[in-house]
Each structure stands twice: as C-alpha cells, then as structure tokens.
Amino acid sequence: MSVLPLVFTSGWASGINAYAVVLLLGVFGVTGVSDEVPPALERTDVLCVAGFLFLCEAVADKIPYVDSLWDTVHTVIRPVSGAVVGALLAGQSGSLSDLAAGAVGGSTALASHFVKAGTRMAINTSPEPFSNVAMSTAEDLGVGGIVTFAMFYPEAAAVIAAVLLILGLALVLFLAHRIRRFMRRRAQRREEKRLAREVSGGPPG
C-alpha cells in the first residue's frame, strides 16, 4: 500500500490542476527524481500536450467568470485524470490494484474539483478581479509544492492534502450563499441574452 499516499495526493492536486500534475510527474520521471513515475507520463508527446494545456489553464483560470466556465468543462476531465494517474502509479509500483487506485484518485480529484469550482463561484461575486489572480496563483504554487513534496515525503504530503481538502469543503459550505448568488447572476445573464436575441430577431414594432 506504499503508493496510496502518492495516489491520494496526486488525486487532490488533479482536482485543482490536472495538467500541472501530469507535467510535474512526467518531468520528475524523465529527470530521474523519482522511480515511481510510470513511463506513460514520461512520453514527450504527453509532456508537450500537458505543458500547452497547463499554459491555457494558467491564463483562463485568472479571468473572472472564464475560470468558472473552464471549471465546468473540467468537471469530468479532472476526476478522470486523477483516476488515470492513480491507476498508472499503482501499476508502476504493484503495491495497489489499478482499480482501487483509480477509485481513490478519481474520487479525491472530484472532491477537490468541487472545492475549487465552488470557491471560484464565490470569488466571482466580488467586483474586483485581483482575487481571481491571487487564488489561481496560490493554487498553482500549492499544487506544485505539494506534488514535489510528495516525491520525497508521500505520507506527510498526503496528510497535508487531506487537511486542505477538509478545510476546502468546509469553506465551500460556508460560502454557499455566495455560490448561490453566482448561480443566480449567471442564470440572469442567460435570460437577458435570450430576451435580447428575441427582441433583435422579432418583427419591427
């Protein structure tokens, strides 16, 4: 079960920035920092695609409302990525079944994605954009730091990831009213756009 802490940590990180996790693990494997990285993540094409998508996310994640749209698109991508990375890590070490690792990685990624998306909805009720930039930067640094830490101290990193996940879920519950406000604003914008299209396409008065 020695790979379980790394699977959990990578799952938590995948729910926040899946491309950063794939890119970091691949670089650690290519450079020989860790023997736990499966060869599939060390491939040049995988690293190039992950690097490109990481740059795309780094930009989209810092723009108000665009970040929430990006999160919506990645509701499936991040948990799937967490499950795949977990299964690959388990297959590399042989200390945990692929199915169990995939379940741990995917469910953890889904939970942390829920925290990220919910927090961004709450932040987007703020009139200024600087909080988005600050939160996105903190998330990127946090993912990079904890995944790197997990390469050397997987158990300690898993404990930190678990604490952050619990605190994040509690924060989302605390911010539930702001998240509902965000959803109402988005629904209102959609209704306004629909009415505008109907007026512009209707017969002249």
Instruction: Tell me the per-residue pLDDT of 30-41, one tens digit each, with 9 for 90 and over.
Output: 998 888 888 999
Tell which wins on pLDDT, 123 or 22: 22
pLDDT at 205: 44
Phi-psi region of 65 (alpha: psi -120 to 50; beta: other; left: phi over 0): left
Task: Enter the pTM of the model.
Answer: 0.83
DSSP state of 126: S
Cβ-Cβ contacts under 8 Å for 90 (sequence gap 6 or more): 3, 7, 96, 97, 98, 100, 101, 102
pLDDT at 178: 72
Q: What is the pLDDT of residues 98-131, one digit of tens each?
A: 888 999 999 999 999 999 998 888 888 776 667 8
Tell which wins on pLDDT, 30 or 198: 30
> Which range has the worst mean pLDDT, 45-49, 76-80, 98-102?
98-102
Q: Any idea what the Cα angle at residue 10 is, between residues 97 and 179, rounded to 5°?
A: 120
- With beta carbons less than 8 A apart as the criterion, state whether 68 and 182 touch: yes
